[in-house]
Structure 1
Amino acid sequence: MATVLRNALLGAASSAASLAATLVSTVFVARLLGPSDSGVVALVLWLVTLAASLADRGIPQIILRYAVLQAPTPGAEVGLTRAMLGPYLRSVLLVGLLSAGLAFVSSRWTGLSAATIGVAVCLFAVYALSALSIAAARSQDRFDQIAWLSVIGGLGQVVLVPVGAIVAGPVGALAGFAVRYLPQALVLPAYLERGDAAPSPGMQAYARNLWLSDLIEIVFLTRVEFLFIGYWLGEASIGFFAAGLAIASPIEQIVLQIAPALLLGFVAAGRAATSERLTAAYSNAFRFVALAILPVCVGGAAILPAVLPLAFGELFRPAIGPSIIIMLAVVPSVLSVVPWSLLAATERARPLLAVQIVLAIGTTVILAFAVPYLGLWGAAAARLTLSIATLLLLVVCVQRLIGIGLPLGSLARAALASLLCAVAAAIPVAVLPPATALFFAVPLGAAAYLIALRCLRVISLEEASSMAKFAERRVPAPLVPAARNLVLAMAPRSSRHSLQDSV
């Protein structure tokens, strides 16, 4: 469990660096280019992600899921990444050429310039190579390298996106976004092990099902609202919706980075002779993901009326209401990663694919009615509805196929604590100017959450003691006392002296 937690934290750290850079870059783009051109940038970034998902054919999933089983130690010479490199590059080349041709043919209707299309194709290639490199690094337990490369790429992106936007508009901004993925793509050769491994038919079937599942998610469950909003409401409305996503998505993506660590942890737990270890791993993962995401999203929704205009400018004030709903939709979306990881770890890719097909159909139907009649509010409400449906379907699949249920009592107490956090944070936002309100809202919300956790006994003495010991090993020495006091603040009042003695 310690290895899983370490990898999860490193994955979250690398994602945090990348997404912080993306958020800052998105703010620059919104302020420098305005709602319409920032909507164009957001749309192209989504299309690039879609093309990369189409090209990967599930190959990164093969490497992540099976290389770790064949390589008992990091760097073992198994050759699975090298064996999959050729098929991956051929697929990327084919999809890149087809996408570029389709974009040029349709440019009369989309309005995209040749320069924009050319930069988008380059961004696609770098992004695709980076995705394969990250999967190979994770399979070899090189989470720390991913974190450092994310920091390097993020710093380059923060500098070059605004410079590019000033010099060349949307084209320059997109070129700056490509810098984020370049360091990770360049180190791909370092992960090519020697050996003659090749994917088995079972591996290929597993990858195919997850590839289709991921492709459906990218097409229908991530940014498909852009197509409906662009058709019915225009590019400026895409910019408004993208502003809400720019604030909510980094939170979602940071926590989603625990998925690879969870998957590998569930694989290890599944090898145990009894099912108790797997049940405990699932329950603990659900509880701690909820403890991390609920206060951030529910509390974040409470302070969005102050955050969004302050970050993006007064022109984006119409995005406040839909953005609050988008932020709340992150909660079920992130919680879904736990049952998804368990199903993937136990090689139940077919149920995952079935869930995605159902949701894809539901997404298309709901957005077709919600956007033309309810506008941005309808698009945001559809996102929340579908995120809840995703979580429920995956939880039901785990319950029926594996026989593991949810820790409902702990989740309910964590939800109540997060509501108290949101109430405390909302008070300054309601009565003070935005900048001043944020100065008080964040610490008030955090304090209310910690007090609620302790009063509601959400975290047990044993769990708090384990967290404190982990902090002592992983946190820099000057920060150890603060980390220990933070854990003490979450522990039940009656057990604080016992916890202090235990650590």
Structure 2
Amino acid sequence: MSSRFVRNSLFGTIAGVSTTLGSFASSLIVARLLGVEATGAVAYVVWVVGVATTLTSLGLPFTLARYLPEMLGRGETQQAMRLAAYLFRPFLLATALPAIGFASYAGWLIVQHSDALAQFNPQTPLHDPMICGLVGLTCLAQALAEYARSYLRGMHAFSRVAKITSISMAAQLVALAIGSSLFGVRGAVGGYLCASLLPLLVLHEIWREPGKAAPDLKARIVTYARFRWASEILGFFIWSRIEVFFLQVFWGIQSIGLFTVGLTLANLAIQGPLMLTWGLLPHFSEQRGQNDVEAMRRVYATGTRLMAFLVFPACLGLAAVMPAVLTLLYGQAFAGAIPAATILVCAASISAVATVGTNLMWAMERSDVDFYVGLVGAVLSIVGGLLVIGPLGPMGAAYSRAATQLVAVGVSSWFLVRRLHFEIPIASLARLFAAAVLCAITARLCLDLVGGILGLLVAIGAGAATYLIAVRLLAALPPDDIARLRSVSRMMPSGLARAIDPAMRLILG
């Protein structure tokens, strides 16, 4: 792997750590300060923002991250910046629509109900004019911030992404704590808005450039962006929180609070390893521009094994100790979320490993595959929402989400093997999964035997040791992969590198 790819991945990891810990801490702040019902109300509003920004993105942020590295690989730096400016104008117009729509709706609510600002019902947050105004502003700010970050990633400016993201998440936590304490749900929504303000400063670099793109490139971009946009919309049914809609319809706001807590923990388990994939799309795109397919095959196989090495124990281990972890973090009021959270975190392990292949397909301009996979997933999500979530509530949402994601991963993997002729390292994945199962069994036994916080600490340590020993005994990772892990660890801060090195020696023997 190139040094730039490793560096980009490390800076991507820093940005990812900031995002993951910030999102996790945000959910804790809201849950602890506002309770289950208000947590559901905030999660519902955040979901609405996600829907609006997805519908108006035009697929352009992903398109930017896909084509800028290819142009940089050919030495076309100025043309890359002009492409970013060329795509920004239509993106700005599209993303302004939700802000205008929600602002107009807020005004209508005030006109129709003179006391609309004085009354707030957490069961119907979008009936509040102030919430609607904040939602409109958040939609616009989040969309523009994502475009700015995609521009920086496409230009290989991952260090700036890491810095901006870290500061933004810190600002969100402060604003969220103050806002939730003083203004409840309204203040919490305003806190989420704060995280999107700093990246907007990057947009002046794009705006000052004259927008331009070569005719042949325009044709490629239109095709890619069209499928990418449709894939994002359909993918929202699979990977985002479409279950929130059905829970709101059938079970109410409180069920959303329980479900989103479980989903937050599932995302927390996979986010650490996923951070390492931030540099994959630019890296694959650059190799694609150089027509180096063999190098893409090597990176895909290695990336998939290393992702599984990190994700499987994190997810299965967390599932094993979920009863202790969830109540310790969120309190006994959220204990009803434990069964659903356990299912979600196990299913997340499979979908996370598949992200390496997803980045590969994006780099090979097969965004059409995402569209068709998303179409299948959308149908399954709607069917699951009507037939499973309705009668079973949060547990049904977990079952529906897990089944839909596993089907989507299966279809994508089939295309990767049969159509693109890339080989999935099945044998290594099976050995790594078996080692992770042993890790989970050990952790749960320790938790049951010791109990309490001490039991949780013992479970984590014993589970990790069991996993590393099992990986060595099963020869789950080839020596080349372990060597790559060691080379990456040497590039980390000295204290972290010293902590990781014993684990590497335990695997190597």
The TM-score normalised by the length of structure 2 is: 0.91
> Against the structure 1 CA distance between its residues 408 and 312, is the aligned structure 2 distance closer, same or farther, given a 3 Å change threshold?
same
Matches within 5 A, 1:291-306: 291-306=309-324
Of 113, 119, 122, the match for 2:137: 122
Of 389, 395, 408, the match for 1:377: 395
Of 72, 83, 90, the match for 1:80: 83
Q: What amino acid does structure 1 have at the position aligned with 2:200?
A: A
Q: CA deviation at 1:96?
A: 2.2
1:486 aligns with 2:503: yes
Q: CA deviation at 1:16?
A: 1.5
Matches within 5 A, 1:213-252: 213-219=231-237, 221-252=239-270
Partner of 1:26: 27
Q: Distance in 2 between matches of 1:430 and 1:254?
A: 27
Partner of 1:89: 92
Q: CA deviation at 1:214?
A: 0.6
1:207 aligns with 2:225: yes
Checking the alignment, whether the CA contact within 8 Å between 1:74 and 1:141 is kept in structure 2 is: no
1:135 aligns with 2:153: no
Matches within 5 A, 1:427-466: 427-466=445-484
Q: What SS does the aligned partner of 2:402 have?
A: helix
Q: Distance in 1 between matches of 2:233 and 2:26?
A: 26
> Against the structure 1 CA distance between its residues 75 and 260, is the aligned structure 2 distance closer, same or farther, given a 3 Å change threshold?
farther
Aligned length: 491
Q: What SS does the aligned partner of 2:477 have?
A: coil
Bigger mean CA offset, 133-142 vs 195-204 = 195-204
Partner of 1:323: 341
Q: CA deviation at 1:73?
A: 8.3
> Against the structure 1 CA distance between its residues 274 and 230, is the aligned structure 2 distance closer, same or farther, given a 3 Å change threshold?
closer
Checking the alignment, whether the CA contact within 8 Å between 1:293 and 1:334 is kept in structure 2 is: yes
Partner of 1:162: 177
> Against the structure 1 CA distance between its residues 354 and 454, is the aligned structure 2 distance closer, same or farther, given a 3 Å change threshold?
same
Q: CA deviation at 1:188?
A: 2.5
1:8 aligns with 2:9: yes
After superposition, give the CA deviation of every residue in 1:370-393 in whole Å (9 maximum; x if it has no partner). 112222211111111111111101
Of 488, 492, 498, the match for 1:475: 492
Matches within 5 A, 1:31-430: 31-72=32-73, 76-78=77-79, 79-101=82-104, 110-112=124-126, 113-190=128-205, 194=209, 196-198=211-213, 200-219=218-237, 221-270=239-288, 275-430=293-448
Q: CA deviation at 1:463?
A: 2.7
Checking the alignment, whether the CA contact within 8 Å between 1:294 and 1:331 is kept in structure 2 is: yes
> Against the structure 1 CA distance between its residues 458 and 193, is the aligned structure 2 distance closer, same or farther, given a 3 Å change threshold?
farther
> Against the structure 1 CA distance between its residues 196 and 128, is the aligned structure 2 distance closer, same or farther, given a 3 Å change threshold?
closer
Partner of 1:498: none
After superposition, give the CA deviation of every residue in 1:213-259 in whole Å (9 maximum; x if it has no partner). 01112245411111111111111111000111121123344444455
Q: Distance in 2 between matches of 1:376 and 1:484?
A: 41
Q: What's the Cα RMSD here?
A: 2.3
Q: Distance in 2 between matches of 1:468 and 1:99?
A: 51
After superposition, give the CA deviation of every residue in 1:401-457 in whole Å (9 maximum; x if it has no partner). 111221111000100111111112112322344322222222221111111111111
Q: What amino acid does structure 1 have at the position aligned with 2:144?
A: L
Checking the alignment, whether the CA contact within 8 Å between 2:17 and 2:275 is kept in structure 1 is: no
Q: Distance in 2 between matches of 1:380 and 1:68?
A: 37
Q: Distance in 2 between matches of 1:370 and 1:233?
A: 12
Q: What amino acid does structure 2 have at the position aligned with 1:290?
A: A
Q: CA deviation at 1:325?
A: 0.5
Q: What amino acid does structure 1 have at the position aligned with 2:23?
A: T
> Against the structure 1 CA distance between its residues 281 and 123, is the aligned structure 2 distance closer, same or farther, given a 3 Å change threshold?
same
Q: Distance in 2 between matches of 1:105 and 1:438?
A: 52
Structure 1 alignment gaps of length 5 or more: 494-503
Q: Distance in 1 between matches of 2:20 and 2:384?
A: 29
Bigger mean CA offset, 182-191 vs 110-119 = 182-191
Q: What amino acid does structure 2 have at the position aligned with 1:365?
A: V
Q: CA deviation at 1:315?
A: 0.7
